[in-house]
Structure 1
Amino acid sequence: MTAVRILLADDEHLIRGALAALLSLEDDLEIVAEAASGPEALAMARVHRPDVAVLDLQMPGADGVSVATSLRSELPGCRTMIVTSHGLPGHLKRALTAGVRAFVPKTVSAQRLAEIIRTVHAGNRYVDPELAADAISAGDSPLTAREAEVLELAADGAPVAEIARRAALSQGTVRNYLSSAVSKLGAENRHTAARLARERGWV
């Protein structure tokens, strides 16, 4: 029987090393590459052409969903799954839209993760039930893509002029987007709106 070839991508070396060691104990799984960032994950995938890419959601350079999106077009034979400690509803929806086959919290056991990798390799999906329930109850984001982008830039307290520069928009347009986002989220100001949107995984 041919082993399932796996790419592991996680910027936390200890977690990645532990996962690699535990998954390697399974006779039908083989770790062919490891990566510590989004760009490195893509580079490793191009070289090793794994069957399954196990991607951390938050990585330097490019997040797991961005990597999954690129792999979907470049290596359609590689199935992707996200393992995360930040399972927000918006992240789950983005991942599923990108063609990710599984969305799993980092609290799963190595044995369960191995089972999910086999499920994904067989062409099936797996979404953690709690994360799925949270996503359903949170509903879809009311924000447009531009409102979400501007709100994310406002999240660290940047002034309107700075947000306008970074988003390549006029200050008046930025104010309009922020005002609309605040109104849609029922928040008292843009900082509260940014926090609410972040908590729900919408930015």
Structure 2
Amino acid sequence: MTTPPVRVLLADDEHLIRGALAALLALEDDLLVVAEAASGPEALAMALAHRPDVAVLDLQMPGADGVKVATSLRNELPGCRTMIVTSHGRPGHLKRALAAGVRAFVPKTVSARRLAEIIRTVHAGSRFIDPELAADAISAGDSPLTAREAEVLELAADGAPIAEIAERASLSQGTVRNYLSSAAAKLGAENRHTAVRLAQRRGWV
């Protein structure tokens, strides 16, 4: 009796990369790409519709990043194992991914053949963390920001005014100023713009 192929969802907003990966994985007899998606919400919808065994998620996608999609899938489709591929492997991203139950964290520089091996590893119930990314995460330490500080800092990333951030976070303007000032102090930044850059560089927002 033949074993059914591992059903795979590919989610990446770069069409060329996603198409190339789908074509290369199609060459593997034991893997079957059942759906593709170009955004976070589409990835979640496709996963619920096609029920893949493994979801290969780009870290940075429109609508919701790979970690947020993985968190939703853990709740809504617990049988689907998730893995993140990224060209921005910052330490905080890896820690968020692991907290969300992601089984593999892989740089986009990996070959298609190696990616196929990692998909099999994840499907079999094991984990794979790129050693270099893991070493960076350990050396960077944990984020000093509270969840609320990180959220407000993330909302400030596009240069939005305090009033707009307050509205989006459902907070008063004074509270938003306090969170931003506290975050900047913890990061040793002279203002919120520098604080955003520092936090993004370390993957904390």
TM-score range relative to shorter protein: over 0.9
Root mean square deviation of aligned Cα: 1.2
Partner of 2:114: 112
Partner of 1:185: 187
Partner of 1:145: 147
Looking at structure 2, the residues matched to 158 and 31 of structure 1 have their Cα atoms a distance apart, in angstroms, of: 39
Looking at structure 2, the residues matched to 48 and 160 of structure 1 have their Cα atoms a distance apart, in angstroms, of: 42
Listed as ranges, the gaps of 5+ residues in structure 1 are none
Partner of 1:128: 130
Task: Give the counterpart of 2:164 among 162, 165, 182.
Answer: 162
TM normalised by structure 2 equals 0.94
Listed as ranges, the gaps of 5+ residues in structure 2 are none
Following TM superposition, the consecutive aligned residue runs of length 4 or more in structure 1 with deviations greater than 4 angstroms are none
Partner of 1:40: 42
Deviation of 1:8 after TM superposition, in Å, equals: 0.8
Looking at structure 1, the residues matched to 136 and 50 of structure 2 have their Cα atoms a distance apart, in angstroms, of: 35
Deviation of 1:6 after TM superposition, in Å, equals: 0.6
Looking at structure 2, the residues matched to 106 and 129 of structure 1 have their Cα atoms a distance apart, in angstroms, of: 14
Deviation of 1:153 after TM superposition, in Å, equals: 2.2
* Residues 121-148 of structure 1 deviation map (CA, whole Å, 9 limit, x = unaligned): 1100001111111111111110011111
Looking at structure 2, the residues matched to 96 and 48 of structure 1 have their Cα atoms a distance apart, in angstroms, of: 24
Partner of 1:70: 72
> Which shows bigger deviation, 150-159 or 138-147?
150-159
Number of matched pairs = 203
Deviation of 1:52 after TM superposition, in Å, equals: 0.6
User: For residues 43 and 155 of structure 1, do their structure 2 counterparts lie closer, same or farther at Cα, with a shift above 3 Å needed?
Assistant: closer
Looking at structure 1, the residues matched to 33 and 66 of structure 2 have their Cα atoms a distance apart, in angstroms, of: 18
Deviation of 1:66 after TM superposition, in Å, equals: 1.2
